[in-house]
Structure 1
Amino acid sequence: MTAILVFVTAALRHPLLQALSIIGATFILEDAATVVTAIQVQAGTIPLELGLGALYVGIVLGDMGLYGMGKLASVVPWMERFIPPRRRDIGRDWLNSRLAKVILISRFLPGLRLPTYTTCGFLGASFLVFTLTAIVATLIWTSLLFSVSMKLGHYILAYLGAWHWVGVAVLCVVLLVASRLVARQLRGKETT
């Protein structure tokens, strides 16, 4: 048992495994992965470059994956029953004329990435413009959230000591709830 524990502990310190873990975590919950990674960097268990780089890679790969899911759905024959070719063309024209703006907005508004990015793929929006804009938006949003989390992580580590994971969990829940409230508030303003 001790040998297994030593192996797992050593493996978790390996940079490649750390990077792959962070990338994988971004596929589940991007913001939580960002907060936890920032606090791990603050604690000194993950190098800054590795943590932030893995976050950027994971988030952009996830965005490209959503685009790809939409692209795959577009070749399913029965999808034309839901969105006829003429409507698809209208949607594509509308989206292509504002693609960068739509991608930037969806990065910053909770709940919009999945439908927006899959729609981009489904309608055949420019993959190059989509990807470049997603990279820029990811660099901005993730850097901001990472910086705030590093600052808060400093206080969490300093004042909660061994209980710092409780602080991390509370911070993740607060961010999740706050993003949902902001999204709900914005949707309410759109309907009025």
Structure 2
Amino acid sequence: MLDSLLSYSDSPLWLVLVVIVSTFMLEDLAIIGAGMLAASGKLAPEVAFAATCTGMFIGDTALYLFGRLAHVWPWLANKFRHDLIQRQVKPLQQAPWHQLALIRCMPGLRTFGYIACGLARVPGSTFTVANVVSIVIWAAMIFTVAFVLGKQYAETLHEWLWFVLPLALLVFILGQRRLRARMEAA
């Protein structure tokens, strides 16, 4: 059983699926991981980048649609009365492009921000275009850095990867919690 599961790990299709799904959890780490997969030759750079952008788009659109759905489903609307979401609704109604760019650059705001887009009734076309532009720019920056550094330090990173990866994940999660706590306190 374990052998059959491990045999999938080298399949490009499996890796694409892993990249897409991982963007739903920790988007920036998924971009870095995709860049490293491309640098190591396990995925073509274009495929890894496209998988990252696809996963980000699916996740962001789902959050936006949950916000829109809250207008017709009272139970969901009640769940979205969080102050962090409500504070973003008015700025999104006034300047959606600007706010969407800020949401993309602020990792702690993404989940709340895209739900707030739906609650603010940002038009679907505006959301989609602004989201795609911000995804491509943001992912390209992070992916390029990860890809270049991955190519340059591949052998060194390979030796330390299993030690550094859990540490990086822990630091990232703690940083996200701290950022979210600061935002909620403000």
Name the counterpart of 1:31.
Answer: 28
Q: Would you say 1:137 and 2:134 are equivalent positions?
A: yes
Structure 1 residue identity aligned to 2:27? E
CA distance 1:147–1:176, shift in 2 (3 Å): farther
Partners of 1:31 and 1:18 in 2: how far apart? 17
Name the counterpart of 2:119.
Answer: 122
Q: CA deviation at 1:101?
A: 0.7
Partners of 1:180 and 1:148 in 2: how far apart? 25
Partners of 2:19 and 2:39 in 1: how far apart? 15
Q: Would you say 1:53 and 2:50 are equivalent positions?
A: yes
Aligned-residue CA RMSD in angstroms?
3.1
Q: Which of 72, 76, 79 is equivalent to 1:75?
A: 72
Q: Which of 18, 23, 26 is equivalent to 1:21?
A: 18
Gaps of 5+ in 2: none
CA distance 1:21–1:126, shift in 2 (3 Å): same
Please give the per-residue CA displacement for 1:137-164, whole angstroms capped at 9, x wherever unaligned.
1111111111222233345532244332
Gaps of 5+ in 1: none
Structure 2 residue identity aligned to 1:29? L
Query: Contact 1:156–1:168 (CA<8 Å) still a contact in 2?
Result: no
Partners of 2:149 and 2:162 in 1: how far apart? 13
CA distance 1:143–1:49, shift in 2 (3 Å): same
User: How many residues were matched structurally?
Assistant: 178
Name the counterpart of 1:101.
Answer: 98
Partners of 2:166 and 2:154 in 1: how far apart? 13
Please give the per-residue CA displacement for 1:41-74, whole angstroms capped at 9, x wherever unaligned.
1111121111110000000110001101111222
Q: Kindly, what percent of the aligned residue pairs are identical?
A: 29
Q: Would you say 1:148 and 2:145 are equivalent positions?
A: yes
Q: CA deviation at 1:172?
A: 4.2
Please give the per-residue CA displacement for 1:134-192, whole angstroms capped at 9, x wherever unaligned.
111111111111122223334553224433232334444455556667x47x95xxx6x
Could you say what secondary structure the match of 1:23 adopts?
Answer: helix
Q: CA deviation at 1:129?
A: 0.6
Partners of 2:92 and 2:147 in 1: how far apart? 36
